[in-house]
Copies of this chain bind each other. A is one copy, B any other.
């Protein structure tokens, strides 16, 4: 249980990720948010990339305390990023929710459509479902030990603002950082999610027994390369992109259009009776 320590309460920040607790990215994220308050890390034991909003239903979960020093407590969970947030909220923050959830720093981009496969962003969305301001951070560098300094410095500016201003209900932030030294990053831009898809997604191989198998692979295809207001655009221009993400998936424009289909006039129980 995270308890008050008397006096004015420092902000409490829940940190998680999808690359697992050993990843360099989560250490960078702790460094980013440490100046703002007390940090509680609850991260997956194993890397969980591509797990999206998956939850663990069929296996029991364990929450293990790894270390606790200064203002940083460290726990692991044998599950997904969303499991981490759920277990943290119900077991560590049941009396009082944290002031902020941050997830990452992901080793690799979560811009455009990648967000829907992303465990990093799913954890941020889950934090948001608890009504806590939540931010996912990703650096466009897939290497094991990238330079996180730009992400840390710009991340602090964003975290400070969110701790002061809050975020609207049902909204969290998807922050992506270009692979540039801090001094070469041009600034921050709010953006919309670029339209795009993954293409040629599998590499087919044959095993020693002659059976086919497939490795997931492929490349990102930008469906709107000329757009100038998307995360993809601003990242290429050398800016940190921030996309506000919503939990309500309803397509309201389509909702109006579909009502003209007059499916709402159909009643099959009548049809049965009139036979």
What is the interface of chain A, defined by CB distance below 8 A to chain B?
49-57, 60-63, 82-83, 86-87, 90-91, 113, 115-117, 122, 125, 129-130, 153-154, 157-158, 161, 165, 167-168, 170-171, 182-193, 195, 197, 200-202, 204-205, 211-216, 242-255, 257-259, 261, 263-269, 272-273
Contact = CB atoms under 8 A, between A and B. Distances in A.
Contacts of A269: 182-186
Most B CB atoms within 10 A — which of A213, A258, A261, A264? A258
Nearest to A122: B52
A195 B248 contact: yes
17 contacts: A50-B55, A52-B122, A55-B117, A63-B214, A83-B216, A86-B202, A87-B202, A90-B200, A113-B247, A129-B197, A167-B254, A170-B195, A186-B267, A187-B268, A188-B263, A190-B259, A191-B255
Contacts of A212: 62-63
A253 B167 CA distance: 12
A263 B189 CA distance: 8
B214 A116 contact: no
Q: 4 closest pairs, A vs B, by CB? A: A52-B53, A246-B251, A244-B254, A60-B213
Contacts of A82: 52, 117
A176 to B, nearest CB: 13
Given A63-B212, A264-B187, A192 B255 contact: yes
A4 to B, nearest CB: 23
A264 B186 CA distance: 10
Nearest to A187: B267
